[in-house]
Amino acid sequence: MTKSSAMKKSSLHFDAAQTDIRERNAMSTRAQILQWCDETLQTAQFKDYAPNGLQVEGADEIRTIVTAVTASRAAINFAAACNAQMLLVHHGMFWKSEPPVITGWKKQRIAALLAHNINLAGYHLPLDAHPVLGNNAQLAQRLGWTQTAAFGEQNLLNIGTLPEDTRTLDALCARIEQTLGRKPVAVGNPKSSLHTVAWCTGGAQGYFQQAADAGADVYITGEISEAQYHLARETGTAFISAGHHATERYGVQALGNALAAKFGLAVRFFDEDNPA
């Protein structure tokens, strides 16, 4: 079964607008929350290079969750200050490409989690791809893009149409800057006419060729490398780097708000002024 066929968008109705839900008193267990996240995000469907789910064990009972893009020391400190029992993130603590030893900054982060009995849970590619709660879906919702298909590796690429008022590169960049609070890097003719948009949040600049091959007029992701400048110039497909952190702020907020609605928990979002 493919990801796209397995996930039923019509059965999910989550309000991602509220990002700071304080007045809750309910309690759930760690196991209940993780099971719901695993089932909702369908983590078993994904081949990932980071563990999805629990990464550091803390309290069994959860009343307050802090959500954040990354399990940084600042996010951990904020969770501790909120007396949270869980820190829920998109970028967790462990990656296949990193050394397995627990030293330095990693030791300090884990020590802080353990000292405050805070669970760390992370959801990477499953949170990118979810058709309602995912980073790709949430970014499109905020920018008014209409998705027509998901494609590419594990269906992480999306393609769709732009609203009429952002159908030039200049206008699209202005809307992105206004929405994300960060000036994007753009390569292409500022006055070029755009209609079809492809996108994948985060560090997905390597998918640019696939987006161009799929017929996109513009491809949007979070980062740019040297090669994308030349590909944009030579293929005629515009390229926009809108920020890794900036494009991935919204999925974890939507997931946190869904948990608040499901379990009646207090959920707060921690953001950082990350220029990357």
| Residue 230 labelled as part of a binding site | no
**Are the CB atoms for 266 and 244 separated by under 8 Å?**
no
Beta bridge partners of 196: 161
Name which of 261, 256, 227, 259 is nearest 241 in CA terms. 227
| Residue 38 labelled as part of a binding site | no
And the tokens for 19? 């990002």
| Residue 130 labelled as part of a binding site | no
Count Cβ neighbours within 10 Å for each residue of 210-235 and write b for 16 or more, e otherwise.
bbbebebbbbbbbbbeeebeebbeeb
Structure letter (DSSP) for residue 168: B
Q: Percent helix, strand and coil across the chain, each rounded to 5?
A: 40, 20, 40
**Binding site as annotated, residues:** 90-91, 128, 244, 248
Binding-site residue set for a divalent metal cation: 90-91, 128, 244, 248
